Chain A
């Protein structure tokens, strides 16, 4: 079964850091571009970051540029998001999502269940 499972969410104080992980299974992880997409409570979806299969192409939303770092370990079938200098507005459910091809313009055809990040003092 094709599956993505996120972990690492939690409660963190403003200015703090958190590292999210996404474990992939059931497909050849190293062949696909991957993304982080977040959703604030009761709000819409916001694309956060994308990384190509070999990590050659990495892109960020303006709202997280300079604070978040996306990475992947193809040997471990894992995607990561290092989040630093966290703000209240980063509070959201964070989804890991696979592109159906090896670039960010492909539709996201596999999604994890999400992990919740809450930034609050």
Chain B
């Protein structure tokens, strides 16, 4: 275990559903990330939060909405998804959003959009 926990591990949702992914870490890290991993693309950075403030939003569609209520929790709210959004969603955290910092990954949520 790396100390980063994601729930649920698997999620199947329809295109009209609304669901949320949760990530939690108690490592004392203050930067948290959402990555998308699909067969076609490498680890694709979606969002970065540093000290609860969003610092990066890499042109992610608005049907993905992140929320970071505190430095230990990160959510990804999903609505009106498309089948091509099916992928493994990985959360990661690091000590700070600066250089020389290792990222610890959660186990991921396998999302299937039907």
A binds B: no
